[in-house]
Amino acid sequence: MSHEFRPLIEVLRELNALVQIEASGFVFLVTEELHSGIIRLHNGQVKEVTFRMLRNDEAVQGLSMVSTAKLRFQPNDIPSYGNKMALNPASMKWLLGGFEQELAGRSETTAAIAAASARAPAPPPATARVDKRVRDTIEQVAVNYLGPIAGMLCQEAFETRHDPRQVVAHLATYLNSPQESRRFVDDAHKALDMLR
């Protein structure tokens, strides 16, 4: 996965390259707003799309409004057990190449904005570094609550935060209920306390 956000058109081209080689696994997406999605592939076939709590056609529609994203592919040969609700042909067509025309103009605009921001002075580099054991511990706890996308969300959180407790609090915002968020925070803090 690239460590920088790229225009959606480039990310979808990478997805299409995985389809062309008949890959099986999970394509994890995250946007600059830290919205996440997963596209499940089996032998190059798109089996399921989720994005921001939306599924399949609604997820593709939500994804079409994204400007930039990061992608990570996790190979997995677990066979597909079918879809309860398949993507309609229009969604599948857009996802597998129809996006090219729609996103081409948007990509040019994004490139112009990126060039302008590249001329702006860069923020000072962060001086604080978080111990690898602390990062790994938080990620291990996060996997239990967030599933396989936890690694990408943790990486994003640590890129902008250097206090482990702030990272934990940020990750808790991805959970479905206040109770689950509290359990996650408690578990993460207990695991961090055990490192001392």
Tens of pLDDT, residue by residue over 140-170, are 999 999 888 888 888 888 888 888 888 998 8
Looking at residue 87, its pLDDT comes to: 81
**pLDDT for residue 4 is more than 90:** no
Secondary structure element (H or E) that encloses residue 39, with its range = strand 36-42
Task: Write down the pTM of the prediction.
Answer: 0.55
pLDDT at 125: 44
Say if residue 111 is exposed, middle or buried (CB neighbours under 10 Å; 0-12, 13-18, 19+): exposed
Band of pLDDT at residue 139, cut at 50, 70 and 90: very high
pLDDT at residue 26 in the model: 92
| Pairwise CA distance, residues 89 & 95, whole Å | 10
> How much is the pLDDT for 126?
43
pLDDT for 80 equals 60
Alpha-helix runs per DSSP H in the chain? 8-20, 57-63, 89-93, 99-119, 132-146, 150-160, 164-172, 178-194
Residue 59 CB-density burial (10 A; 0-12 exposed, 13-18 middle, 19+ buried): buried
Closest among 71, 48, 72 to 60, alpha carbons compared: 48
* Per-residue model confidence (pLDDT) at position 124: 43
CB 74 within 8 A of CB 26: yes
